[in-house]
Amino acid sequence: MVARARERFAAERRHLNRRRRRAERQGALPNLIVIGGLKCGTTSLHHYLNLHPEIAMSRPKELNFFVAELNWDLGPDWYASHFDRAAPVRGESSPHYTNLPRFEGVAGRMGDLLGDDARVVYMVRDPIDRMLSHYLHNVGGGYESRPLEQALTDPDSAYVARSRYAMQAKPFLDRFGAERLLIISREELGRGREQTMRSVYEFAGVAADFTSEQFDREWETGSGKSAGGFKLMDRAVRLPGLRALDRNFDRLPESLRWMVERLVHDPETGAAAKPELAPDLRARLAGLLREDVAELERNAGRDFGWNVAAA
């Protein structure tokens, strides 16, 4: 998955001078960053943010600029070229920004470049559900071959690390402070979309009473994601002749992207069925995550209702 994230910008490495000229004419650094988490609903959040007339989110969604191993070498001008200088709030969403211990130093690079104007949003979800979705995504994409229990109970795996939200958030809390880090959950966005988006808009410093009929759209969900068509397409876009489609999908007009979304993920069918975890396995996973969840809830100032403590 990481190699694919870097490959998406291979063409832009060949045209850096063009991007630099564009940055000089119209680019600007962002002031709103969604840092994850992976499989927590950041694609939907990115789209909801972009609906607001005072916010312009990047295309593509995941620039991964502050990851040294991915796109940091492309430079600030390249990064700025993805944002509209005329927009009061400019943002991007890259879940790899919360991928410790694999990618270190992200918060420091971000704070050094963006300064005191930047605000950071961290979207989380039930950590055991996130682990399961992460595993199923990797299996579907051909990245994972281990049995479910073996993969999820490996304490050194990305499944565990990326569900330790407090650990992932700590560098951002240290660098930006609690007043510039907003933590929201997928569950909150699901059951109270307008209210949750109101809090995000207020945090971003734009009119908080904005709403849209497109709030009903949920991206990258649905039973289609577990079907053969999705798996075939996920593998197909890694073929040399189709890599341009993978790189440029986020640059398509919103209406066209939604048509593809409906075709591939079939969101109207509801969430895809997932295997039930055995009680003893769920208890083992809860034991790996319990202390981290307690710390996250202290930092956020509320209980997310995940019942990890009782698992």
- Can you give the pLDDT at residue 117? 86
- Assess contact for 79 and 29: CB atoms under 8 A: yes
- Can you give the pLDDT at residue 244? 57
What are the tens digits of pLDDT across the range 94-133?
999 999 999 999 999 999 999 988 999 999 999 999 999 9
- Can you give the pLDDT at residue 72? 97
- Can you give the pLDDT at residue 13? 72
Q: For the whole prediction, is pTM greater than 0.85?
A: no
- Assess contact for 165 and 35: CB atoms under 8 A: no
Which contiguous run of DSSP H or E holds residue 128? helix 127-141
- Can you give the pLDDT at residue 223? 47
Return all residues near 207 (Cβ < 8 A) that are at least 6 apart: 52, 54, 201
Comparing CA positions, the residue from 303, 229, 302 lying closest to residue 265 is 229
Chain-centre distance for alpha carbon 62: 8
- Can you give the pLDDT at residue 119? 98
Angle, CA of 106, 107 and 111, to the nearest 5°: 120
Q: How would you class 300 by CB atoms within 10 Å of its CB: exposed for 0-12, middle for 13-18, buried for 19 or more?
A: buried
Angle, CA of 117, 74 and 95, to the nearest 5°: 60
What are the tens digits of pLDDT across the range 237-279?
455 555 555 556 566 666 665 566 555 555 555 566 778 999 9
Counting as low any pLDDT under 50, the low residues of the chain are: 223-224, 237
- Assess contact for 32 and 176: CB atoms under 8 A: no
